[in-house]
Amino acid sequence: MVQALQRTAVRGPTFIRLLARLTDRDVSASRQSLPDRLSHWLDWTHAIALSTALDSRPSADDSGGPAFSSEEEEECARLRASLVQAITGDPVLAIGADGAGSDNTGNDYTVFRQRYLTLQRRMQAATGHLRGRLRDMLARQSNELAGLASVDAVMELALSPREQMLLAAVPALLGEQFERLRQGAPSDTEEGEAASAPWLDGFRKDMQSVLLAELDVRFQPVEGLLAALRTR
């Protein structure tokens, strides 16, 4: 009896594990250390800027502005909850959805791709603004935390372009999964039933899961800044 080949379990963030499962790819763990991997993402100008931020001792900014408080933390939580609601409450991704009026949703990935890009841009804008605001607050706390804010600013400038390039590839990966599911669906599916076909509802669930996992990834720097502010 021939035994089926078993794929190596993918370890790492939920976002990576979900993509590996949906794309049916065997992703091997990197043999490089984190500093070695980061060295490929930083050019010499970023390396100099990072070294300067690490070596410098900036003074806390006392120019004024809102201070960090429980209200600010609650606002961060509300923002995240609103993004979660935007994903889970999106009409295109609802189980049995009719594609918000589109008659071709069951056969065309375009609608889903556009929704992913729209939600992705919303996450990027919201988390980017929030990260900058928290960093400004951190810079006003103490000289030590001002240094941390400087390092975070350099890391965002250096790594964000690469991060956005990688995240921009996600809709294409989901498009491949959409096509696999569509081609594997029963050929006698009625055209009018396409919007609520089981394979399509399964894809909607998967797409929601990937979006929520991406939101977790985008919020990691924000959570780091919040943790630093809580220790002030």
Other C-beta atoms closer than 10 Å to the C-beta of 195 total 18
With CA atoms as reference, report the closest residue to 64 among 134, 139, 147: 139
Q: What is the pLDDT of residue 100?
A: 44
Q: Rounded to whole angstroms, what are the CA distances from 182 to 23, 25, 63, 192, 201? A: 14, 19, 58, 15, 11
Residues 139 and 232 sit within 8 Å (Cβ to Cβ): no
Q: What is the pLDDT of residue 1?
A: 36
Instruction: Indicate the pTM of the whole model.
Output: 0.80
Residues 99 and 111 sit within 8 Å (Cβ to Cβ): yes
Instruction: Please name the residue that has the structure tokens 């919007």.
Output: 195
Residues 213 and 92 sit within 8 Å (Cβ to Cβ): no
User: Six-digit token pair at 121?
Assistant: 């841009």
Cβ burial 53-71 (10 Å sphere, 16+ → b, else e): beeeeeebeeeeeeebeee
Other C-beta atoms closer than 10 Å to the C-beta of 108 total 15
Going by C-beta distance under 8 Å and a sequence separation of 6 or more, which residues neighbour residue 111? Answer: 92, 99, 100, 102, 104, 105
With CA atoms as reference, report the closest residue to 200 among 85, 69, 108: 108
DSSP 8-state secondary structure symbol assigned to residue 68: P
Q: What is the pLDDT of residue 187?
A: 65
What SS3 class is residue 89? coil
Tell me the C-alpha distance between 38 and 32, whole Å.
10
Tell me the C-alpha distance between 132 and 149, whole Å.
9
Other C-beta atoms closer than 10 Å to the C-beta of 19 total 21
Tell me the C-alpha distance between 141 and 68, whole Å.
9
- Write down the domain spans for the chain: 43-54+67-230
Q: What is the pLDDT of residue 56?
A: 72
Q: What is the pLDDT of residue 195?
A: 55
User: Six-digit token pair at 135?
Assistant: 């960093």
Q: What is the pLDDT of residue 178?
A: 93
Tell me the mean pLDDT per 10 residues along the chain, length 232: 42 79 67 70 75 71 66 89 96 74 62 96 95 90 86 88 92 93 72 67 94 95 91 73
